[in-house]
Amino acid sequence: DGGITQSPKYLFRKEGQNVTLSCEQNLNHDAMYWYRQDPGQGLRLIYYSQIVNDFQKGDIAEGYSVSREKKESFPLTVTSAQKNPTAFYLCASSVGQGRDSGANVLTFGAGSRLTVL
């Protein structure tokens, strides 16, 4: 079945450490996204990528980095510069352009919960 796989589901990090969250999709989607979810704040966009080797900052990119070397993969690194990294992280993808019923709809992974000790 096609979908998005995020790993790990739970991750613990000590302060000062970088960690990388994995996101892989087999939907052949062009666009991929990373969102952060905190209680009472909804989903906030960290980074998004429209095509391979290209990505743009979202609303809260500071302290995060991404890469898009393959269409299927969009890993997120939470660096030590992120002051409050404890959160639930959601990866998503979409077909992107077009006006058919499937266009622009986000498909989400199951999420990764990061806790800083």
Q: Counting contacts by CB under 8 A, is residue 5 touching another protein? A: no
Q: Which member of 18, 20, 53, 105 binds another protein (CB under 8 A)? A: 105
Q: Which region, judged by CB under 8 A, interacts with another protein, from 19-27, 31-39, 63-71, 77-85?
A: 31-39
CB of 68 to another protein, least distance (A): 13
Q: Which member of 17, 69, 81, 96 binds another protein (CB under 8 A)? A: 96
Q: Counting contacts by CB under 8 A, is residue 33 touching another protein? A: yes
Nearest to 34 by CA among 114, 103, 108, 116: 108
Q: Which residues of 25-47 are buried (b: 16+ CB within 10 A; e: fewer)?
A: beeebebbbbbbeeeeeeeebbb
